[in-house]
Structures are given as C-alpha cells and as structure tokens.
Structure 1
Amino acid sequence: MPLTDNLRGILLMCASMAAFTINDAFMKSVTLTLPLYQTIGLRGLIAVVGLGLLVLATGAFRVRLNRQDGWLILLRSLADVAATVLFLEALLRMPLANLSAILQAMPLAITLGAALVYGDRIGWRRMTAILVGLIGVLIIIRPGTEGFDRWALLGVASVLCVVVRDLSVRPLQGQVPSALVALGAAVAVTSMGWIGAGVQGLQPLSGGEALKVLGAGLFLIVGYLTSVMAMRSGDIGLVAPFRYTSLLWAIALGLLVFGDLPDGWTLLGAAIVVGAGLFTLWRERKIRLLAKT
C-alpha cells in the first residue's frame, strides 16, 4: 500500500528528529574525552563533504547570488555558529533531555520573532500560547531555586540564535537553493571549530572516538536531508508538530546512554512548552485554511 504524502512527511519528520537527537548523543558522548572544538571541526568536515556533494549533484553552485542574498547567508551562517557553540557547550554540561526540553520553545520563539521583525500578525490566542510556553521554559530552568542549572541559560541563548538564523533567510530570493544555504552554514561552523581547536588544542583520536565523530556527522547529514524532505511532503501544518518527537528521543537516549532522567518539574515544563507549541501550530494551520476559503 503506497504511502500518502502526509504520512510520508510525518515519517520523514520523525526520522529527522531521531537523526538530530542521535547526533547530539554522539556529540555529548565523544566530548567527554575529546576537546569540544576539535570534535566540532571533525564532524563539520563530514557534513561539509556530504552537503558539498549534494550541492554539486543538484547544480546549486551555478546559482549567482546578489549582494543582499550573500549578506543574508553570511548572517545566517554566523547565527548558526553561535547557536552551535552555545548548544554544545550546554550539552557538554547538562542532561540531553533537559536541554532538549528547552529547545522545544523554538517554534514559539520563531513565531514571536517573525511578529517583531516582519510584522506578522499574532492574535491574542497565539500570543497567550507563547506566554504560556515561556512560563514552561521558566519551570524547566527554575531560576533562583536549588534546581537551577546556569548552563540552561546557554540553551536559551542558543534558541535565540536559532531564531536569528531562521528569520534571516526569509527575505532570500526563491531561486537560492536550500542546500547552498546549508553548506554555507556548515563551512562557517567547521571553520569556527578548527579555529577553536587551534586555541583549545588537539589530541589523537582513539578508534571509539573516531567512530562516534563519524556517527555524529552522518546522522547530522541525515537530519538535514530528511528535514528538508519532510517539509516538502504533505501538509506542513500536519507534519510540523512531529518536530516535538525529538523530546521523546532525547529522554530515551538520555536514560539509555547516560543514565539521566528528567525530574518532575522538567517534564511538567516540557509538557507546557510542547502543548503551547502544538496549539500555536494548530492555530496557524486553521488561519491558513480560513484564508483559502
């Protein structure tokens, strides 16, 4: 029985979230023994080669960019560098599931950012959902309490950088290939990794470390590709909510690989954030459907 476009998109989105989270688990594991920036540089080389081959195969290098598009891609790449460093610095020091719970606020933050930067209209329902989601993030972080983890603030800063990254590409001309944009970010992150490695220092890789870095790079490429394929399959409003399956993967891998299990407050905050995000996505889909009628 052939898959429908919607079911294909859902399966691809679930696969993308699984791939990204497995990549995170590999990175957290290998950076326990290998310098962070050396790991970023090595993983980046794998991503650059994979994306470079994709760009060559699709002929994306033949596209000529105007000055505005070039600056936008540069801004996106720098924001991606900052988001990557902040995320991995936090990941090195806090449980995978806890950090993933904070990242679930990303769709809410992007919706709010689009309203502030581009003037997108947000009704009182979606604005309320965003505020409720932010309360959920505060429950996860719990500033001023014994459960407060200062490294969680790096996770919040990473979310803000992702907002800049994603909103910066909105004005890009339609003919600019997504693979070329992704390759630009991969080159920037990889360059930053090797510059940081020059300062932090290098060390020889063991066989196990090399396999973990390879696994991280390969799953990162799979995550990129399946994410793009998912958003091009089926109804985006139906497919997008399955981004939140990344939290389930993070909880499972955190427990199985690192023996970490989020406490009740973290799970409560995550549930609030996910619920607010799902409501916002549902509301956006409803508004689009009403606009078509």
Structure 2
Amino acid sequence: MALSSNARGAVFMACSMAGFTINDALTKSALAYMNAGQVMFVRGAMTTLLVYLVARHIGGLANLRRLIQPYVLLRIFFETLAAITYLSALGQIPLANASAILQALPLAVTLGAAIFLREPVGWRRWTAIVVGFLGVMIIIRPGPEGFTLASIYVVFSVLTAASRDLVTKRIDPAIPSISVTLLTAASISLAGALLIVPMGGWHPLTWASMGTLFLAAAFLFVGYQMIIMAMRTGEISFIAPFRYTSLVWAVALGMIFFGELPDIWMAVGTSIVIGSGLYTFYRENKRKSESASQSLPVSPS
C-alpha cells in the first residue's frame, strides 16, 4: 500500500533526525582535537564529494544555473549560519542538551510562519510558543551555574534553522533536492575554510580523524537530503513533531559514547518544550480541519 505524502514526509523527517544526530555525535568527537572551522571545511568537502557523485549518478546536475535564485541562496545563507553557531557550541555542551534546545525548532518555525508568512496563529498557540521558549530557558538555566555562551549559540542556531525551513517551502518544486543539497554542502565547506585561521588554525589530520569525519559526512548527507525531501513532501504541521525523535538518539549516544547523563533541569525543560510543540501541532491540525469543514458545500436538503 502506497504511503500518503504526509506519511512519506514523516519517514523522511525521522531518517533526517537520525542522520543529523549521529553526525553530531561523530562531529563532537572530532571537535576535541580540531576547531569548528576545520571540521566544517573537511566534513563539508567530503559531503560535497558524496553528494556530487550521487547527483551525477541520478542526473541531478542538469540545469545547475536554476539554483541561482533568491530562495535557494537565502536557504544556504541560513543553513551556513546555523552550522557555524551549532558547531561552535557542540564541543562545549553535552550532546543531549544541544539536542534538547533544538527541540524548540518547530515552535520557532510556527513563530516565523506567523510573523513573516502571515499564517493565522491564535492565542492558544501563541501561549504554547511562549511556554516552549520558557522551557528552553530552563534547559540553558541563565545564571552563574547553568548559563554558557554555547547555549546561546544553539538558540541562535534554532532561529536560523527555522528561517531555513520556512525558505525551503518557497523553493521551486522543479529544482531537484539533490541539487540544493550539493550547493549547501559546498557553501558550508567554503565557509569553514574561511574560519579555520580565525578559530585557531589548522590541526594535522590523522587516519582516525579522517575516518570519523567521513562517517559524519555520510550521515550529514542523509540528514540534508532527507530534511529537504521532508519539507517538500508533507505538511509542516504534520511532519514537524517527528523532529523530536532526534532527542532519543542524542540521549542514547551521549550516554554511550560521552558518558553524559541528562540532569533534572534538562528533563523538565525538554518536557515543556516538547509538550508545547505537540500542543501547537494539535491546534494547527484542528484549525485546518475546522477550516476544511466550513468550506464544504451545504447540502440543499
């Protein structure tokens, strides 16, 4: 039985979150002996090569000139900012904490859709957005004991990633997802090259570090491709909750490979953020159902 567009979008989103989170764990281990700029450059170059080979194999390199359009370039700009800020933070805070803050992304997307796309948002969803961001504040715990600049980097990454997702919806459907992925990976690699010296200079690569970054690049490719396919396949309000699957991966990987145990504040804050997000999706789906029922023709009988 064929899956609906929303079901396919949900599967793409879940696979994307797995790819991104495994990439995060591998990248975090690499950040222990090289700076974020070098990681972006090396991993980005590997990702670009992987995407290029796949795109060439499936014929996705035709009409690359069509990529030079405002929405594609704007998406790449936001994606690059998100990568810089997130990688700058990833080596300084636990993987689960970074992932927990990222759970506010669906709320940020709803906020952006209301402000910039003029989508209707009622007081209940506005309340859920505010409560959700209060949950983020609990996770980062502003104050001498919990607050770090790295946490602010992740918050900024959430805002830029939300902008990226909103722009993705505006890209011409005729443009292949693999082409957008290719240009994005190449742009992030270039940005990383420019940041190597400002972030501390080049560190010699070992076979172990090259292998780690190659695996990270492979999973990053999966994440890139799947999230673009998800955002272009299903309705945002339906597929966005599947972002939360990334937290399961992050907690498990953090405990197994880094010995990171989530504390009570992260658990409480994450529960608030996820609860707010799920309520927002519920209200959005209910609003659409009500609008659809009101638009149905009235029977003359």
TM-score exceeds 0.5: yes
Q: After superposition, where does 1:232-247 map in structure 2 within 5 Å?
A: 237-247=237-247
Q: CA RMSD in A?
A: 2.4
Q: What is the match of residue 117 of structure 1?
A: 116
Distance, in Å, in 2 between the alignment partners of 1:78 and 1:233 is 22
Calculate the TM-score normalised by the size of structure 1.
Answer: 0.89
Are 1:102 and 2:81 matched, yes or no?
no
Q: Which amino acid aligns with 1:30?
A: A
Distance, in Å, in 1 between the alignment partners of 2:7 and 2:227 is 14
Residues 85-134 of structure 1: CA distance to partner in whole angstroms, max 9, x if unpaired?
A: 10011101110111111111011011111211121110111111101101
Identify if the C-alpha distance between structure 1 residues 238 and 77 changes in structure 2 by more than 3 Å, giving closer, same or farther.
closer
Identify if the C-alpha distance between structure 1 residues 111 and 236 changes in structure 2 by more than 3 Å, giving closer, same or farther.
closer
Q: Which amino acid aligns with 1:82?
A: L
Q: Which amino acid aligns with 1:125?
A: R
Identify if the C-alpha distance between structure 1 residues 77 and 14 changes in structure 2 by more than 3 Å, giving closer, same or farther.
closer
Q: What is the match of residue 249 of structure 2?
A: 249
Query: What's the CA shift for 1:30?
Result: 0.8
Tell me, yes or no, if the aligned pair for 2:28 and 2:90 is still in contact at 8 Å. Answer: yes
Q: After superposition, where does 1:29-178 map in structure 2 within 5 Å?
A: 29-56=29-56, 57-59=58-60, 61-62=62-63, 64-65=65-66, 70-178=69-177
Residues 154-176 of structure 1: CA distance to partner in whole angstroms, max 9, x if unpaired?
A: 11111111123223344433323
User: 200-209 vs 89-98, which deviates more?
Assistant: 200-209
Tell me, yes or no, if the aligned pair for 1:55 and 1:61 is still in contact at 8 Å. Answer: no
Q: Which amino acid aligns with 1:259?
A: G
Structure 1, unpaired ranges of 5+: none
Distance, in Å, in 2 between the alignment partners of 1:182 and 1:205 is 26
Query: What's the CA shift for 1:60?
Result: 5.1
Q: Which amino acid aligns with 1:163?
A: A
Identify if the C-alpha distance between structure 1 residues 75 and 227 changes in structure 2 by more than 3 Å, giving closer, same or farther.
closer
Q: What is the match of residue 297 of structure 2?
A: none
Query: What's the CA shift for 1:51?
Result: 2.3
Q: Which amino acid aligns with 1:179?
A: I
Tell me, yes or no, if the aligned pair for 1:44 and 1:187 is still in contact at 8 Å. Answer: yes
Identify if the C-alpha distance between structure 1 residues 172 and 227 changes in structure 2 by more than 3 Å, giving closer, same or farther.
closer
Query: What's the CA shift for 1:48?
Result: 1.1
Tell me, yes or no, if the aligned pair for 1:34 and 1:209 is still in contact at 8 Å. Answer: no
Query: What's the CA shift for 1:45?
Result: 1.2
Tell me, yes or no, if the aligned pair for 1:79 and 1:165 is still in contact at 8 Å. Answer: yes
Are 1:268 and 2:268 matched, yes or no?
yes
Identify if the C-alpha distance between structure 1 residues 283 and 87 changes in structure 2 by more than 3 Å, giving closer, same or farther.
same
Q: What is the match of residue 195 of structure 1?
A: 194
Distance, in Å, in 2 between the alignment partners of 1:151 and 1:78 is 21
Distance, in Å, in 1 between the alignment partners of 2:97 and 2:50 is 30
Query: What's the CA shift for 1:178?
Result: 2.7
Tell me, yes or no, if the aligned pair for 1:16 and 1:222 is still in contact at 8 Å. Answer: yes
Q: Secondary structure at the match of 1:225?
A: helix
Query: What's the CA shift for 1:236?
Result: 6.0
Query: What's the CA shift for 1:232?
Result: 6.5
Distance, in Å, in 2 between the alignment partners of 1:168 and 1:233 is 14
Identify if the C-alpha distance between structure 1 residues 107 and 179 changes in structure 2 by more than 3 Å, giving closer, same or farther.
same
Distance, in Å, in 1 between the alignment partners of 2:140 and 2:197 is 33
Identify if the C-alpha distance between structure 1 residues 81 and 235 changes in structure 2 by more than 3 Å, giving closer, same or farther.
closer
Q: What is the match of residue 277 of structure 1?
A: 277
Are 1:217 and 2:213 matched, yes or no?
no
Query: What's the CA shift for 1:228?
Result: 4.2
Tell me, yes or no, if the aligned pair for 1:139 and 1:265 is still in contact at 8 Å. Answer: yes
Tell me, yes or no, if the aligned pair for 1:83 and 1:157 is still in contact at 8 Å. Answer: yes
Query: What's the CA shift for 1:12?
Result: 4.1
Tell me, yes or no, if the aligned pair for 2:47 and 2:220 is still in contact at 8 Å. Answer: yes
User: 162-171 vs 27-36, which deviates more?
Assistant: 162-171
Tell me, yes or no, if the aligned pair for 2:105 and 2:162 is still in contact at 8 Å. Answer: yes
Q: Which amino acid aligns with 1:127?
A: W
Q: After superposition, where does 1:175-186 map in structure 2 within 5 Å?
A: 175-186=174-185
Q: Secondary structure at the match of 2:20?
A: helix
